[in-house]
Amino acid sequence: MRTVSAAETAPTTYPWAIHAEGLRVRAGRHLAVDGLDLALGAGVHGLLGPNGAGKTTLMRALATVLKPAGGRLALLGESVDSRADLRRVRRGLGYLPQQFGFYPRFTVREFVEYMAWLKEMPKTAVPGAAQRAIERVGLTAKADARMKALSGGMLRRAGIAQAIVNDPQVLLVDEPTVGLDPEQRLDFRELLRDVGVDSCVLVSTHLVEDVVAACTDVVMVNEGRLVYQGTPDDLVAQGSEGDPGDSPAERGYSALLRRHRAVTGR
């Protein structure tokens, strides 16, 4: 059992965990996110979009790794524009990048503990929190194995463990199910739903099926802009038999994308 701190039970003072208005973010010279409006609260939100839609750049900006080039971005009610002090917001963040680097000589436990320490968790809380996170992703048996000895799926799970070690209020995961087998995928969806009960979870993926199965909400971007936001059921309702795709959700996805491309003329 874990003691619940006063901070955890305090009511939130902001309407949205993630709030972007006219957000613009550069990836190199290219404006990968261009005038995006987005407001997300608690729940599991699936971020969909074709390759090059700006998903990864958006995730990096939300993770405060990239500085926005323009517009407004607030996380957990605090502005994270150019000169902001990011420490408080970052303590409430969990982030798993698409390709995450690690130190091959670290054990899983050392890796997760190191990340917990970087997230400025109290020193005494670090070992327990790391153990709990490792258990939640089902890596207990491998906790003391070196990172370089892990398979791709296990690495992914170690990455998820470091992302949730600080019980983040905003959890950002980029393509999390790549490398996971079907059973691990199911476990992972359950974990996301569990975290999403009282936190804001944003999962970027190219698997429409993952979104329908695990998410309470669908966010779709194209060309760096918001195309659509709604429930998975509503996404399904957007498609018709004539649209390309193997499932109702995929047909809904391609119908939305086709309509957006027709409107913008690209």
Residues that bind another protein (CB under 8 A): 28, 60, 63-67, 83, 85-88, 90-91, 93, 95, 97, 100-103, 105-106, 110, 113-115, 117-120, 126-127, 162
Q: Among residues 156 and 260, whose Cβ is nearest to another protein?
A: 156
Tell the smallest beta-carbon distance from residue 113 to another protein (Å): 5
Tell the smallest beta-carbon distance from residue 53 to another protein (Å): 20
Overall size of the chain counted in residues: 266
Tell the smallest beta-carbon distance from residue 35 to another protein (Å): 21
Q: Among residues 105 and 258, whose Cβ is nearest to another protein?
A: 105
Q: Among residues 40 and 256, whose Cβ is nearest to another protein?
A: 40
Tell the smallest beta-carbon distance from residue 237 to another protein (Å): 36
Tell the smallest beta-carbon distance from residue 57 to another protein (Å): 12
What are 172's strand-pairing partners?
Answer: 95, 202
In angstroms, how far apart are the furthest CA atoms of the chain? 58
| Residue 101 CB coordination number (10 Å) | 6
Tell the smallest beta-carbon distance from residue 64 to another protein (Å): 6
- CA 179, CA 130: separation in Å to the nearest integer? 23
Query: To which residue do tokens 């698409």 refer?
Result: 98
DSSP letter, residue 22: E
Q: In Å, how far are 22, 48, 56, 156 from 175, measured between CA atoms?
A: 25, 10, 9, 10
Q: Among residues 53 and 59, whose Cβ is nearest to another protein?
A: 59
User: Tell me, what amino acid is at 184?
Assistant: Q
Q: Among residues 203 and 211, whose Cβ is nearest to another protein?
A: 203
Q: Among residues 110 and 209, whose Cβ is nearest to another protein?
A: 110
Pinpoint the alpha helices (H) of 67-148: 87-91, 108-118, 126-136
Is residue 176 within 8 A of residue 96, CB to CB? The reply is yes
105 Cβ contact list (under 8 Å, min separation 6): 146, 147, 148
Tell the smallest beta-carbon distance from residue 142 to another protein (Å): 13
- CA 156, CA 220: separation in Å to the nearest integer? 24
Q: Among residues 16 and 106, whose Cβ is nearest to another protein?
A: 106
